Chains A and B, each alone.
Chain A
Amino acid sequence: MGNLLEIKNLHAGVEDKEILKGVNLTIKPGEIHVIMGPNGSGKTTTANAILNNPQYKKTEGTIIFDGKDITNKSTDEIARRGVFMSFQLPEEIPGVSVTNFLKYAKNKVTGKPVKIFEFKKELAKYMEELNMNAKNMDRSLNVGFSGGEKKKNEILQMLVLNPKLAILDETDSGLDVDAIKTVSKGIEMFKNGNNAVLIITHNTKILHNLKVDYVHIFVDGKIVKTGKQALAKEIEENGYSKYKNLI
Chain B
Amino acid sequence: MAKTQLDEVNRNIYDIKNKDNYDYKIKKGLTKEIVEEISKQKNDPDWMREIRLKALETYNKLEMPTWGPDLSELNMDEIATYVRPKSKLNSSWDDVPDDIKNTFDKLGIPEAEKTSLAGVGAQYDSEVVYHSMKDELLKQGVIYTDMETAVREYPDLVKNHFMKCVPISDHKFVALHAAVWSGGSFVYVPKGVKLDMPLQSYFRLNSPESGQFEHTLIIVEEGASLHFIEGCSAPKYNKVNLHAGCVELYVKDNAYLRYSTIENWSKNMLNLNTKKAICGKNAQVDWVSGSFGSRISMLYPMSILNGEGAKTEFTGISFAGKGQNLDNGFKAIHNAPNTSSVVNAKSISKNGGKCTYRSLIRITENAKGSKSSVSCESLMLDDFSVSDTVPTNDIRTDDVEFSHEAKIGKISDKTIFYLMSRGLSEEDAKAMIVRGFAYPISKELPVEYAVEMNNLINLELEGAIG
Contacts and interface: CB of A to CB of B under 8 A. Distances in A.
Interface string B209-236: 0000000000000000000000000000
Interface stretch (A22-30, A34-42, A82-90): A82-90
A93 B432 contact: yes
Contacts of B439: 94-96
Contacts of A161: 422-423
Interface stretch (A2-10, A50-58, A215-223): A50-58
A185 interface: no
Q: List 8 A-B pairs, minimum CB-CB distance, nearest first.
A: A95-B436, A95-B439, A100-B1, A108-B423, A96-B436, A75-B420, A91-B418, A105-B422
B422 A157 contact: yes
A155 interface: no
Given A95-B437, A104-B1, A80 B423 contact: yes
A148 B429 CA distance: 25
Contacts of A51: 417, 421
Interface string B400-421: 0000000000001111011111
B423 A74 contact: no
Contacts of A140: 436
A105 B412 CA distance: 19
B417 A93 contact: no
B423 A101 contact: no
A79 B421 contact: yes
Nearest to A76: B420
A195 to B, nearest CB: 16
Contacts of B425: 74, 76, 108
Contacts of B428: 76, 104, 108
A96 B417 contact: no
B413 A90 contact: no
Contacts of A87: 418, 421
A206 B436 CA distance: 34
Nearest to A140: B436
A27 to B, nearest CB: 18
Contact of A105 (B423, B426, B435, B437): B423
Contact of B414 (A84, A85, A91, A116): A91
A80 B419 CA distance: 12
Contact of A108 (B414, B424, B440): B424
B138 interface: no
Nearest to B4: A104
Nearest to B414: A91
A159 interface: no
A103 to B, nearest CB: 7
B417 A101 contact: no
A97 B417 CA distance: 18
B428 to A, nearest CB: 7
A109 interface: yes
A144 to B, nearest CB: 14
Interface residues of A, number: 30
Contacts of A100: 1-2
Contacts of A157: 422
Contacts of A101: 1, 422, 432
Contacts, number: 83
A93 B433 contact: yes
Interface string B113-151: 000000000000000000000000000000000000000
A46 to B, nearest CB: 14
Contact of B418 (A55, A90, A104): A90
Contacts of A108: 422-425, 428
B1 A75 contact: no
B432 A84 contact: no
Contacts of B440: 95
10 contacts: A51-B421, A54-B413, A79-B421, A87-B421, A91-B418, A96-B436, A101-B422, A108-B425, A116-B2, A157-B422
Given A51-B421, A95-B439, A76 B426 contact: yes
B374 to A, nearest CB: 19
B423 A91 contact: no
Most chain B Cβ neighbours within 10 Å, of A53, A76, A97, A157:
A76
Interface in B440-457: 440
B432 A79 contact: no
A95 B418 contact: no
Interface in A94-153: 94-97, 100-101, 103-105, 108-109, 116, 140
A74 B420 CA distance: 8
B437 A94 contact: yes
A79 B420 contact: yes
A104 B414 contact: no
B204 to A, nearest CB: 31
Given A54-B417, A91-B419, A109-B423, 19 more contacts: A55-B413, A74-B425, A76-B423, A76-B428, A76-B429, A79-B421, A80-B423, A93-B415, A93-B419, A94-B436, A94-B437, A95-B439, A101-B1, A104-B424, A105-B424, A108-B422, A108-B428, A109-B422, A161-B422
Contacts of B176: none
B421 to A, nearest CB: 5
Nearest to A111: B423
A209 B424 CA distance: 33
A100 B422 CA distance: 13
Given A76-B426, A80-B423, A96 B413 contact: no
Contacts of B413: 54-55
Contacts of A75: 417, 420-421
A79 B418 contact: no
Given A93-B436, A96-B436, A84 B421 contact: yes
B438 interface: yes
A140 B413 CA distance: 19
Most chain A Cβ neighbours within 10 Å, of B1, B422, B435, B436:
B422
Contacts of B426: 74, 76
A54 B436 CA distance: 24
Contacts of A53: 417
Nearest to A161: B422
A103 B422 CA distance: 11
A130 to B, nearest CB: 18
Interface string A42-68: 000000000101110000000000000
A63 B448 CA distance: 46
A161 B424 CA distance: 12
Contacts of B421: 51, 75-76, 79, 84-85, 87
B306 to A, nearest CB: 35
Contacts of A74: 420, 425-426
